[in-house]
Amino acid sequence: MVFQMKRTITACVGNLILFTLSGLAFAFPASELTRMEAPHFVGLEVNITIFPILFIAYLIAYPIIYYVFAKKLPWGKRTYSELLYSDEREKVIVAESTKVAYKALITGLFSAIAILFGIRYLSLLADVMINMYVVSILLLAALLNVAMISYCVKWCLEYRK
C-alpha cells in the first residue's frame, strides 16, 4: 500500500519539476536576442539561457528515472500516471484529489486574470514597462504547480484515512 503513495508522490514531484522548468524555459529562453543584418544576410544571434537546456535534459532524464523506480518498487505495469488506481478506495481518493486540483485551477485562473489585469493597468498608471508574456508564462507555471501540490496533498491525506 505504501508503494502507491510513493508512486503518486514521485509522479507529483516529477510534474512539479517539469512545470517549473517549462515555465522558466519558455519565460526566459534567451538572455540576448539580436537581429543581424548584412547585405545579403538577415538572421538572429541568440544567447540561450540555462533553462531550455535544463528543460530538455529533464525531458530525457525523467522517464529513465521513473522507469528505474518502477523496476525497483512493485508499482505494476500501468503506473505512468498519478491518476491510476488499483481498487475502489483508490478510485475515490483519485476522484477527491482531482476535484481539489480542479478547484485550485479554476480559482487560480480567475486570480491570474485579475493579476494580469492589475499589472496591465497599474503599469500604465506608473509608466513602467512590464513584459506581460513573461508574467503570463510564470503565472501559468505557478498555477500548474499549485494544482499539482493540492492534488498530491489531498491524495496523501485521503490515503492516510
* Residue 24 pLDDT: 96
Q: Residue 120: what residue type? A: R
* Residue 127 pLDDT: 83
**Total Cβ atoms within 10 A of residue 80:** 14
Regarding predicted confidence, which is higher, 36 or 142?
A: 142
Q: Quick one: pLDDT band at residue 77, thresholds 50, 70, 90?
A: low
Q: Quick one: pLDDT band at residue 93, thresholds 50, 70, 90?
A: confident
* Residue 91 pLDDT: 83
Q: Which whole number is the average pLDDT over 115-134?
A: 89
**Total Cβ atoms within 10 A of residue 85:** 14
The CA distance from 1 to 65, in Å, is 21
Query: What are the helix and strand counts (H, E) for the chain?
Result: 4, 2
Q: What phi, psi does 36 have (nearest 5°)?
A: -110, 130
The CA distance from 50 to 69, in Å, is 27
For residue 35, what are the β-bridge partners?
44
The 10s digit of each residue's pLDDT in 17-75 is 999 999 999 999 987 777 777 776 677 777 889 999 999 999 999 988 888 877 777 66
Domain residue ranges in the chain:
2-160
Reply yes or no on whether the pLDDT at 111 is more than 90: yes
Write down the mean pLDDT value for the chain: 86
The CA distance from 44 to 51, in Å, is 19
